[in-house]
Every structure is written in C-alpha cells, then in structure tokens.
C-alpha cells in the first residue's frame, strides 16, 4: 500500500516551483499553464524574449518568470537555475521540453552537423539541465523530472529518423537517470504523437481531417493533452512511478502507425 494522499486535485503544485524549457508556446506553455492552474510557480525558457514576455503576461507576473536563451547553452542553463532559486527560492520540478528537428529526409543524406545539434538540444541538454537542477536541490524532498519524448522514439519513421533516434535516446536517458537518481528524484517521460503546434505544422496543416482520421480517437493532440500527462507525472499522484514513458497519442501506436 502506498501512502494515503491528502493533496487536493486542484492544488497539486501548491508551494512548488517548476522550470519548463522551451515554453513560450505550444506544449511547454500548456505544461506551464497547468502547473500554475494547480497552484505552482513556473519559470519558462525560450530563445526569443518577445514570446517569453507574452507567456509571463498570460501566466501571471507573480507566479511566472522567464529567462531567454538556447536550451543547449551551458551559461543559459546556469543563469536560469540561479535566477529561479533567487526569485522563487527552490526548484522542485524540471520539464525538459525543448526539442528540435533541423534535419528531414533519409539518414544516408543527412548533414552530420545538423544531427549533432539535434543530439545537443534533445538529449545532452536534457541531461545537463537535470544535473544542474539536482545540484540546485531538486530532490529536497521529492523532486520530479519529466522529459518530452515522442512516439518517433519508439520505432522508425520516414523522414525524421534522427529526431526519432534522439527521442529514443531521451527515453533511455529517462530510465537511466530514474535508476541513478532514485529515491530522491523521479524521472519520467511523455511520448506524444502529433500535437497541434507550430513545430508539427508540416505534418497536418492543410490536411488535418485526413491525418486525424488515422487516429483511433479521431483527432490530433492538443497541447493541454500533454500538459495534463506531464502534470500527473510531476505530481505526487505519480509518487510511485519512475523511469516510465507515458505514450499520449490518441491511440495511434495501437493502430500500428506513428
Ligand atoms: N508537436 C508535436 O506534434 C510533438 C510531438 C511529439 C513530441 N513533441 C516534442 O514536444 C516538445 C515541444 O514541441 P512543440 O510542438 O510544443 O513546439 P513549438 O510549439 O514549436 O514550441 C517550441 C518552444 O521551444 C522553444 N525553443 C525552440 N528551440 C529552442 C532552443 N534551442 N532553446 C530553447 N527554446 C527553444 C520555442 O521558443 P523560441 O522559438 O523563442 O526559442 C518555443 O517556446 C519538443 O521536444 C518536441 O520534440 C512535439
């Protein structure tokens, strides 16, 4: 039997501070919004200040802050973690949401420089943020990391082979870190299929009904679908869950597709 939970469903992040990378829009912003709705405070990151300003305006100046920079920049990582501790006093939840895919097509023709950048941002940066968050006290007590992977990390997909390779590595990194950081810190991942964001636009724009029809649940994902899954994994509701990848895909992988 686990511990009896007395936390209210609506206040799962009361008194907690989360850092969500790549969160000026899309999935990251939905995650940040959900954490704030459930009583938490949040720091969002992204490269462009304008998008971050809009996000903080929406999330609320008392409950949200932002630091601009690229997720794979070590100085930005250090400055962000320091700013969170200074402004909010602790760091309890890290969501490694930033992911890029600057390479499309068969791997045989892919530019190795672009592939290295994918690994830097999608895998190594997630490890670096996690190390820095843990060093900042993430586990004192009950810290949680959630990595945003992809169903593309579960099996091969045409055109996005190295993106998928990086997400497969992120899923393995999730398991490895979960084993190494237990019991102080839980580490889990979410693997979405296509979610209606700018990042995925090329996969559905102009043919959304056709793409949605390939999903057993009959629609593409919304950023809030992922926000809800991340909130579960980051909260005490998942206090006995670590090293797992929660597939949130409208049933797509059930039907054999990705
Ligand atoms: N959408 C999907 O269908 C889908 C499916 C599976 C997995 N995912 C994963 O979900 C995550 C979020 O994707 P999304 O669809 O929400 O994308 P999105 O709507 O395009 O948002 C991307 C966010 O990340 C920021 N960003 C981009 N590159 C960055 C960098 N190098 N450093 C810091 N911030 C950066 C962007 O702001 P700036 O442009 O200002 O930097 C923006 O806030 C990614 O890891 C992606 O792989 C998405």
What does 72-121 look like in DSSP terms, one character per residue? Answer: T-HHHHHHHHHHHHHHHS---EEEE--------S-GGG--HHHHHHHHII
CB of residue 77 inside a 6 A radius of ligand 1:
no
Beta-bridged to residue 245, according to DSSP, are 189
Where residue 44 falls (left for φ over 0; alpha for ψ -120 to 50; beta otherwise) is beta
| Atom 39 in ligand 1: residue holding the nearest Cα | 47
**What are the C-alpha distances in Å from 244 to residues 27, 32, 55, 66?**
19, 21, 29, 29
Question: How far is it, in rounded angstroms, from Cα 232 to Cα 144?
Answer: 11
Q: Does 100 sit in the ligand 1 pocket, CB within 6 Å?
A: yes
Distance (Å) from CA 3 to ligand 1 centroid: 36
Residue 45 in contact with ligand 1 by CB distance below 6 A: yes
> Which residue in this structure is represented by tokens 């995925």?
200
Task: Give the contacts of 202 (CB within 8 A, at least 6 positions apart).
Answer: none
Question: Using CA atoms, how far apart are residues 101 and 118, in angstroms rounded to an integer?
Answer: 6
What are the CA-CA distances from residue 136 to residues 35, 78, 94, 129, 130 (Å)? 20, 10, 11, 10, 10
Does residue 139's CB lie within 6 angstroms of at least one atom of ligand 1? Answer: no
CA distance 232 to 246: 10
Residue closest via CA to ligand 1's atom 26 equals 22
Look up the CATH number of domain 9-197+222-246: 3.40.50.720
Alpha carbons 53 and 75: distance in angstroms, whole number: 21
**CA 197 to centroid of ligand 1, rounded, Å:** 8
* pLDDT given at position 2: 45
Give, for all 258 residues of the chain, the pLDDT tens digit: 444 554 555 699 999 999 999 999 999 999 999 999 999 999 999 999 999 999 999 999 999 999 999 999 999 999 999 999 999 999 999 999 999 999 999 999 999 999 999 999 999 999 999 999 999 999 788 899 999 999 999 999 999 999 999 999 999 999 999 999 999 999 999 999 999 999 999 999 999 999 999 999 999 999 999 999 999 999 999 999 999 999 999 999 998 887
The pairing of beta strand 245-248 with beta strand 185-192: parallel
Residue with tokens 């959900």, as numbered in its chain: 34
CA distance linking residue 59 with residue 42, whole number of Å = 9
The span from the CA of 19 to the CA of 134, in Å, is 12
The catalytic residues are 163
In order of 43, 61, 187, 207, the CA distances from 174 in angstroms are 22, 32, 6, 34
pLDDT score for 141: 81
């Amino acid at each position: 039997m686990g511990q009896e939970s007395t936390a209210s469903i609506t206040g799962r992040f009361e008194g907690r501070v989360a850092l969500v990378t790549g969160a000026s829009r899309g999935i990251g912003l939905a995650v940040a919004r959900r954490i704030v709705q459930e009583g938490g405070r949040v720091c969002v990151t992204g490269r462009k200040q304008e998008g971050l300003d809009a996000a903080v305006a929406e999330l609320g100046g008392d409950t949200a802050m932002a630091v601009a920079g690229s997720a794979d920049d070590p100085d930005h990582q250090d400055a962000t973690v320091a700013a969170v501790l200074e402004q909010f006093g602790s760091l309890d939840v890290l969501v490694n949401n930033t992911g890029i895919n600057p390479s499309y097509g068969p791997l045989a023709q892919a530019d190795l420089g672009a592939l290295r950048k994918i690994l830097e941002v999608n895998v190594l940066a997630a490890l670096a943020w996690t190390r820095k968050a843990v060093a900042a006290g993430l586990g004192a007590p009950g810290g949680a990391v959630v990595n945003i992977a992809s169903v593309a990390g579960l099996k091969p997909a045409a055109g996005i082979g190295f993106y998928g390779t990086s997400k497969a590595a992120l899923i393995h990194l999730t398991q490895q870190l979960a084993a190494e950081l237990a019991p102080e810190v839980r580490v889990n991942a979410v693997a979405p299929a296509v979610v209606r964001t700018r990042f995925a636009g090329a996969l559905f724009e102009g043919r959304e009904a056709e793409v949605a029809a390939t999903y057993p649940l009959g629609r593409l994902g919304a950023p809030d679908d992922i926000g809800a899954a991340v909130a579960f994994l980051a909260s005490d509701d998942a206090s006995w869950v670590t090293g797992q990848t929660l597939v949130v895909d409208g049933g797509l992988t059930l039907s054999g597709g990705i």
